[in-house]
Amino acid sequence: MRWDLIQLRWAQYRIMAKRRWLALTDDQLTEICGLKDCLATSLQSTYGISREVADLEIEAWCATFDDLNTIADDHLELTEATLPAASLQHSLEQRRRSEPRR
C-alpha cells in the first residue's frame, strides 16, 4: 500500500481509521492529516502501545486497502476533460430513471 495515496485521500481514509481505532478522537484524526508518523504517535498515546506495535497495526490496516488502491489507481487516469462528461452522463441517467413512465 502506498502511504502517499492515504495521505492524498485522507478525508476518505479518516473515516476508515475511525472505524478501526474507535478511541481516536475527531480532533486527533484531523491533526493526523494523513501523516503516518502522527497516526503512529496517536495510536501509541491513545492505546498505550509501543511504536513497533503501532507500526504493525498501521501496516495491517494498510493491507486491507491494497485491492481498493489498485482499482482506484486505474481510475485516476481519467483526465479533467472526461470527468465533467462522465458526471453529466451520470446525471442524465439518474434523471431518466426518476421520471415517471408515460
Question: Of the given ranges (3-7, 11-15, 56-60, 77-81), which has the lowest mean pLDDT?
Answer: 77-81
Q: Under 8 Å CB-to-CB from 73, ≥6 apart: which residues?
A: 5
Dist. CA 28–CA 48, nearest whole Å = 15
Report the number of distinct structural domains present in the chain. Answer: 1
Q: For the chain, give the percent of residues with pLDDT over 90.
A: 56
Say whether pLDDT at 22 is over 70.
yes
pLDDT reported for residue 82: 46
> Which structural domain range is residue 72 located in?
3-98
What CATH number did the domain enclosing 29 receive? 1.10.1470.10
Say whether pLDDT at 100 is over 70.
no
Confidence of residue 2 (pLDDT cuts 50, 70, 90): confident
**What is the average per-residue pLDDT within 1-19?**
91
55 close to 40: Cβ distance less than 8 angstroms = yes
Say whether pLDDT at 96 is over 70.
no
Cell of 50: 509501543
Helix 51-63 vs helix 36-47: crossing angle, to nearest 10? 120
